[in-house]
Structures are given as C-alpha cells and as structure tokens.
Structure 1
C-alpha cells in the first residue's frame, strides 16, 4: 500500500521555507539599513525627549538668523544712495564696535544672573527691538530719515566717504542691520551652543552635533519656501511686517522651548549629562602675541594663511555679487525671492557635500579634502569677475542665446553657494584635523593665534582692502565708487589669496603627515613636538 503525503505537511514545509527566506532577507537587509539610519539620524529612541526640543530650538535659531540676514541686506542695499560697499562699511564701522560693547554687557549679565536668566534677558531685548522697528521705526522711516537729496549732495561733495553718508541717511535700517548681525552671533554662536555644550555629554555630542548641522541646513530649505510665499503675497512694506512678526514668533517660541527643556526635560536625572564636554578655557592672545606664535611655527602660520585667505576672498566675492544683485532686481520682493532660492540651494548643496566629504577625506586623504575649497573659491570667483569685466561684450551674445539680465547674478550666486558649501563640508573639518597631531601647548596657542590673526583679520581684511581701494579711487577721480568699479584691482587680490591658500595647503600637508608619523612613535615625544612646532626645512 502506497503512503500518501499529508497536504498539511507540505503547507507547513512551504510556510517554514517562506519564513526562513523572509528571515534571511531581513538579516541581509537589516545591517545596511541600520548603518544608513546611523549615518542619517543616529539618535536613539530613549534620547528623543531630550533631542527633539533642542533640535527644534536649533531649527528656529538658524531659521530666524538666516531670515534676518536676507532681510537686513534687502533693507540696506535697496535703500536710497546705497551700494554693496555700504555693507562693508556697516560691518566695520557699526557692527564691530556694537559687538564689542554687547559682549561686555553680556558677560556682566551672565555673571550676575546665570545662563538661564541671561538667555531670556538677551532674547527679550532682541524681540522688543524688532517689535519697535516693525511698528514704530519702519512705518515712520520717511519722516525720521534725512532727505535723500541732501544725502546725495553730501556724497557728491565727499565721495571718498559717501557710504558713511548713505548709512546715516537710512539710520534706522542701519540699526536694523546691526541688530540682525548681533541676533545671529548671540542666538546661535553664544546662546544655543553654550546651552548645548552644558547639557549634552561627550558620547551624545558625537551623534547630536552632526544632526544639529543637518537640521540647520534643512531649516534653510524650509526658509526658501517661506521667502517665496512672502515675495508672492506681500508688497509695499507688508513683507517687512510679515518677516518681523515671524521673528517675534520665533523669539518667543525659542524662549518657551528653552524654558520647557530646562524645566521638564533636563530636570530629570536620566537626561542630565553623565560627563559634560570639558571645555578648556579658550586661550586669547593679543595681535602681537599671535604674530609671535605664527612666526615661531610654520605649521600654525600655514593654517592662519588658509583661514585668512578664505575670509578675504568670500568677503570680496559676496560684495561684488550683491552689487550685481542690487542692479538686477527692481524691488524688495524680487530680492527676497532670489535670496530664498540662494538659501535653498546653499542648504541642499551643503547637505550633499557633507556626506561626499566624509568619503573623499577618508578615501583620498587630507590633501584632496583640503585643496577642494581653495580651487573652488578661486576658479568660480575669477571666472565671475572676468565675466563682469567683459559684460559689455558677453551680454549681447548671451541675450541672443536666451539668457536674461539675471544671468550674471545667477552665475555669481552659484559660485558663492559652491564656495560656502565646500567650506562647510571640506574646509572646516580638514582645518580642525590639522590641529590634532600637535602638542597640547602648541594646539592651544595655535588655535588662539589662528583665531586672532586668521579669522579676525579674514573677516575684516576683505572689507578693509575694498574700503582702501575705493577711498584711493574716489580721492583721485572725485567720483562715487562701487564694488563693480574695483574689479580690475580686486581680481588680483583674489588670485593672490587663492594662490597663497593652495600653496599653504600643500606645504601644510607635508607638515601634517610628518606630525602624524611622529605621533605614532610613542618613545619619541620630544621629536613629536619638534616636528609639529618647528619650521620645516622643505
């Protein structure tokens, strides 16, 4: 008699095989998915109650800061008797002294009230100013500002200092520019990051901080759509009212999030940092002491040249580009719409390049990662400047090809976006990596020297160069000078600084590789310090 197989056994076997296949498929797919999740969003579920409010605070801080940055430029650039050089004068003549004064006041408030109360005091001060501007100063601008014709006559009589007259002629807009700059410095660089450093421990920081940067760039993309909406639906000054009301809501929301996080999240022991990030007291050097460190160490000198070159080049690049933008747009709505697109693509390209840079630096080495930004900055800037110099010849050709009047602005914006994105993705990490193999003493003094000479002079150096050139030309010709008029001179500054940047990267790479090799020799510590600190023979 033949044995007949049970159909249920076959079904069970098929089910077992199917479940086994699914299990194998899950085991195959799960590791790369987990790796992707860790790369994109490396936050654990138990950390979400702490991470979410801090991430929202970071989002609102970047969102409001960038919105104000675009708005302040539109107010000043499009005001009567103003050029893009006026932004340089505003930064050096108004923002710099205001920052020094505000830092003194902030330190006193911080010492007397503690950090939590200081946060609310500073934020309340900023929020109240933008309310006063929105409902008092801006509606009365035509009455409280001097007659534009009077300002124009003063500029013609003293063209060498015409931009100072221009800023004085729209003094409430200039004040708005200063307060917007201070908002960015204190809400982001001081208040948010101090709050994060005090409440995120060392293990969390490796996952929280990169995610904060990602969220910050997402806020830029979101802002671009808000600015597009504003430019499409608000005109005749209503766009400024909308933006300032948005800043007010952001400021209040930031204070509420800050209060909520401190009272209901960080008060719980499980969310308090186990080991706080130990921040050593930042060594500060005078300009003279910084120069001594630079001349004693070729290694630190090259880092300072790199930082200085970026600061000067991006300052000159942006001023010329914004001068083109000022001439191309006809009203504030067009300006805000364009800046929204610029902000959007800055966020997108930065996010993309951050992930690209991880691969490039890991696979191709420090030199390739470090040299991308200077090549990008120099090539895009020089091409843009050459186009501006030959615009009368090139524009008719471009017009026949269907390119509109905004071509030069779009071209310049692309260069600025690529330069800034590569700076965030390649320049910043490779610069910080270069300090790693140094001895503790040289690392501390070197960072202070780079901050004192490279960063500080880089931010103001580009502006000082342009002001000096404009002053000389105006004194000789008796005419008002704008940034475009100086391109035939500033292009040589760009080429010089770009060449110095590339040269410094190549020389620094040799010292960096030597310092890494020396750091791997545990029994040769004196030689390690010597190789990092002493001038190289090459």
Structure 2
C-alpha cells in the first residue's frame, strides 16, 4: 500500500506537470498530444520492452525493479536542475521557425515537439512512469506475492492509500502553483516550481525503493507471508529466452493474453479520444500556465476523492457480482460519460440556456463535464479495471506472467493511446480540426466500447476456467 501511495503520488505530479509543460509551451497546444504519443511515446515503449525482456533474462526480479526505476528518478532530478534552466540554449526556436516558413500550417504540431524537445522527453518519461513503474513493476511484484483469494480481498483496497496520494499530490501541485504567484519579479516561476515538484517526485521514489528493499529483506523471506517452496520453484524454473518478435508471436497465439491486450488497448484509445478534446477546451478556458496547473491540481484531488469511494464500492462489486461484472463497469462508465461529453460539444448551441441558467458559459460547462468524465473514467480504472486486469494474470504460468505482462502493459497501453492519436490525426487532416471531427470521434468511441465488452466477456470465461484448473 505504501509503495503504491509513493508511485501514484509521483505519477500525479508528473502527469499534471507534463501537460502544463507541453500544452502551454511556445507555439504548442493540445493538438501536439496525438503526435507525441504516436511518434515518440510508442517507439520508446517498444524499445523499453525489448530492453526489459533482456533484463528479465539476465537479472533476478529484484534487480530488474531497481534497474528500471532508478534511471527515471535520475532523469527527473536532472530535468529540474540542469535541463530546464538551459532551455533557452537547448530549444532550437529560430531553426524550427526557419523550417516552419517552408511548410504548411498542418505541420505546426510535429514542429512544436522538435521546438520543445526536452519537454517532449519529459512528457514521455512521465507517461512511461505510469506504464513501467505502476503497471509493470509494482503490479508484477504484487502478483508475485499474492494469491487469487488474497487479491480479491486486497487489490481493491491496495489503492485506498494510493488515492489518498492523489488528493495530497493534487493539493501539492496547487500549492506550488499558488506559490509561483508570490515570487519576486525576474525569478522564473516555472524553474522554481519544477524544483519543488521534481524534489517531491525523487523523495517519494526514494521512499518507494526503501519500502521495496525492506519487503525483500523481511516479507519475502518470512514463511508466514510467502510460500517459500513455491517461490523457490519459480526461481529455479528455467526462463525461456525470446526476442521482442518471438515474444509477440508467443503472445498472439494465446487468446487469453490477446483479450487482455484488447482491454488495455481499448481503454487507452477511448480515454485518449475523449481526453485530447477535453484538454483543447481546457487550454481555451485556462491559457495561463499557473491557472492551468492549479485546475489540474484540483482535478487530481477530486479524482483521488471519487476513487476512494469507488474503491469501497469495488470490493463489494467483486464479492457480490464477481470478476465478469466488475470488468464491465469501466467500459460502461467511459461509454456513457464520453458520449455525454461529445453530445455537449456537438449540440453546444442547444446547451447555451442551460449554461446561462447555471451562471457559466458553454465553454466552462464543457470543461467541467469533461473533467467529470475524466474523473469517473479514471476512478473506475483504478478501483475496478486495474484490479481485474491484474487478477487475470495470477492463474498464468511464470513466463506468460512476466513477458505477457511486459507486452500488454508497456506496449498495449501506448498502442491504445497511439491508436487513438492516429485516428485523431487522420480526422484532423481529413476534416480540418478536432472540433469538426467530434461526431466521428463519438461514433468511433461507440465501436471501441463494443469490442471492449466483447473481449471482457471472452476473458471472463477463460479466467473462470483457469481458476477451476488451479
């Protein structure tokens, strides 16, 4: 629980910071997100999976955890202390301006990535923290020391402390945003705030690594906590060495892993399709970085509070209705709220009287409905989707667990986001803008939800069968 608290405390700060940096950067905006997720994030994730597969073959799981986590913390410390203070020298604005003068306006988003390349790297490292440290390393470790019966009882509660972290980290981001307003003239406010934010990330990461080391020493060696005979058998088992291509072939032969990947890819595509449109509205409402960051801090705290409630409900849902129904809650939530957000954008003139009656504007109403959509989607993900996904790995053999998990989490997650991004890019080039593409995005969201439901039902049958065989 403490490890998950630290990991999500850091991730919330990183997630809020990456958006503020990239979206409010010079000559940038929300439209860069589809490009960065496709052309920077996805290749990085694929490269990491190849490296991770090699690390798994050469190191034990404990050292793999350290080898993957420490470089992240070093980068975030370096970014705040060395890279950001020198962006005037490092970012090639004049060079990109010269190129931009010879290219159509449609190239402004990819050029913004080149123009603000260090922010783009930070964005990808923050995204990778979510998929590598949270999904792959933490849950992989949790699955190693937990039985299915324990998982059903404790996985929904694992996140209780973690979502208190969302509330704390959201308010910390807001506090840092407000502190910037009181700085003396001539001091770079973002330079100061980044040191505070990244200092908190590194400190939290250090506490997480200390907790992991303590558990390795005191918990995994305790026969009352972990079955030593089973653990020894797992460690003695010869690992099958496979390259990335062989791993992909091995996984694609398994309908079980394929359905798991469909769940992760569907979530990534659905959330990306709605989120980018929402962030475009958010930048219109809050063009100032301080105001944007402050809003995101409150948003993260609200996500944590709602998720805490969902966690309590999640435990009851697992116990009363089982894995299948729990797995269908998240696609239902995203489908209903996502289509509601798009309806508000498509039929905006119809909602003008409603906005006026509420004492706000259609733009702010869209921002708030989009925020509610995002909060409900993320809370159902943390409380139900993630525990469902992790439970599904438990009946698998060790090789499918480690390499299957690496492929599903580290490639599947960015592939989902990149798939959503490619759809948006195609629509932007086809119809001119995200705003005009909204009806098409709503239709695509509906199709994705259908396939998500289909894969979840298929996986539920296989999971129940695998549990009976154990």
Q: Structure 1 length normalisation: TM-score? A: 0.69
Distance 1:243 1:488 in 2: 38
Distance 1:390 1:152 in 2: 41
Aligned to 1:334: 291
Distance 1:430 1:115 in 2: 23
Distance 1:473 1:319 in 2: 17
Worse-matched range after superposition: 218-227 or 111-120: 111-120
Distance 2:323 2:211 in 1: 40
Distance 2:28 2:298 in 1: 24
Report matched runs for 1:165-184 at 5 Å.
165-184=111-130
**Alignment pair present for 1:496 and 2:447:** yes
Change (3 A) 1:330 1:254: same
Change (3 A) 1:155 1:247: farther
The answer to whether the 8 Å contact 1:81/1:148 transfers is no
**Alignment pair present for 1:75 and 2:75:** no
Aligned to 2:207: 253
**Alignment pair present for 1:216 and 2:174:** no
Distance 1:195 1:439 in 2: 15
Could you say which structure has the larger radius of gyration?
1
**Alignment pair present for 1:467 and 2:425:** yes
RMSD of Structure 2 on Structure 1 (CA): 4.4
For residues 19-75 of structure 1, the C-alpha deviation after alignment (integer angstroms, 9 at most, x for no partner) is xxxxxxxxxxxxxxxxxxxxxxxxxxxxxxxxxxxx433321221122111111111
**Alignment pair present for 1:56 and 2:2:** yes
Change (3 A) 1:458 1:173: closer
Change (3 A) 1:373 1:338: same
Aligned to 1:477: none
Comparing both chains, which one has the higher relative contact order based on Cα–Cα distances under 8 Å and sequence gaps of 6 or more? 2
Deviation at 1:316, TM superposition (A): 0.3
Q: For 2:196, which of 222, 242, 247 is the aligned residue?
A: 242
Change (3 A) 1:190 1:375: closer
Distance 1:424 1:378 in 2: 17
Distance 1:261 1:88 in 2: 39
**Alignment pair present for 1:129 and 2:75:** yes
**Alignment pair present for 1:325 and 2:285:** no
The answer to whether the 8 Å contact 2:27/2:112 transfers is yes
Q: For 2:227, which of 261, 274, 284 is the aligned residue?
A: 274
Structure 2 counterpart SS, 1:312: helix
Aligned to 1:232: 178
For residues 129-175 of structure 1, the C-alpha deviation after alignment (integer angstroms, 9 at most, x for no partner) is 22222122212223321227954971882344432111001011111
Worse-matched range after superposition: 335-344 or 368-377: 368-377
Distance 2:113 2:68 in 1: 26
Distance 1:104 1:314 in 2: 26
Distance 1:373 1:109 in 2: 33
For residues 369-417 of structure 1, the C-alpha deviation after alignment (integer angstroms, 9 at most, x for no partner) is 4544333222211121121223355346513531255321111011122
Report matched runs for 1:102-117 at 5 Å.
102-108=48-54, 114-117=60-63
Change (3 A) 1:376 1:250: closer
Distance 1:512 1:203 in 2: 16
Deviation at 1:242, TM superposition (A): 1.2
Aligned to 1:391: 348
The answer to whether the 8 Å contact 1:303/1:508 transfers is no
Structure 2 counterpart SS, 1:273: coil
- In structure 1, the gaps of 5 or more residues are 1-54, 475-480, 523-538
Distance 1:330 1:159 in 2: 21
Distance 1:356 1:342 in 2: 21
**Alignment pair present for 1:88 and 2:34:** yes
Aligned to 1:379: 336
Structure 1 counterpart SS, 2:85: coil
Structure 2 counterpart SS, 1:157: coil
Aligned to 1:314: 271
Structure 2 counterpart SS, 1:402: coil
Aligned to 2:92: 146
Change (3 A) 1:500 1:259: closer
**Alignment pair present for 1:412 and 2:412:** no
Q: For 2:380, which of 422, 427, 433 is the aligned residue?
A: 422
Change (3 A) 1:390 1:202: closer
Aligned to 1:23: none
